[in-house]
Structure 1
């Protein structure tokens, strides 16, 4: 996974509501539509739809048409690849012996 892919996923996962949506989808398996997610959150259906779209566009979830409904499920393969990539990326950073010290705030 390239740095651009990692950044896209980090942006998609960088909102508490989207993390909550992922948790809901993971618990409910594959038969979860937008209304099911909305029922679990205190948000408007349109807001939930927008968050689902961000996750969908990032490839974190998948949409499957079932009759007149769209069901969503978590793409565990994509999240596993992200997990490995972030772990590899962070472990590849050479920060040994380097410490960033905070400078005291200046009085104005």
Structure 2
């Protein structure tokens, strides 16, 4: 990382998103399985309300770490591997 302002801001967003345990679990899940929709993710996590899960997915998406793809009424989530490799390689181990 060269330390330019854009990269620093990106790194801060990623680290802030991963600083919450549920979001870290979601990111780890999405490194193992891609193209999951909210109900898939909720079924694999313990005791996470759908509104809370939506908030966490938005935070991860806003950080650039998670990509989304809309198909009809479903939104499918996957890890952005290039961002993960650069800022959070731990996720990919």
Q: TM-score range by the shorter chain?
A: 0.7 to 0.9
1:8 & 1:65 partners in 2: Cα distance? 23
TM-score normalised per structure 1? 0.70
Selected match of 1:21 from 1, 9, 26: 26
User: Is 62-71 or 2-11 further displaced after alignment?
Assistant: 2-11
**Superposed CA offset, 1:17-64 (max 9, x none):** 00100122222222x001111111211000000000000000000010
Which runs of 5 or more structure 2 residues have no equivalent in the other structure? 2-6
Selected match of 2:38 from 7, 25, 34: 34
1:65 aligns with 2:70: yes
TM-score normalised per structure 2? 0.81
Structure whose CA Rg is larger? 1
Higher relative contact order (Cα pairs below 8 Å, separated by 6+ residues): 2
RMSD: 1.5
1:51 aligns with 2:56: yes
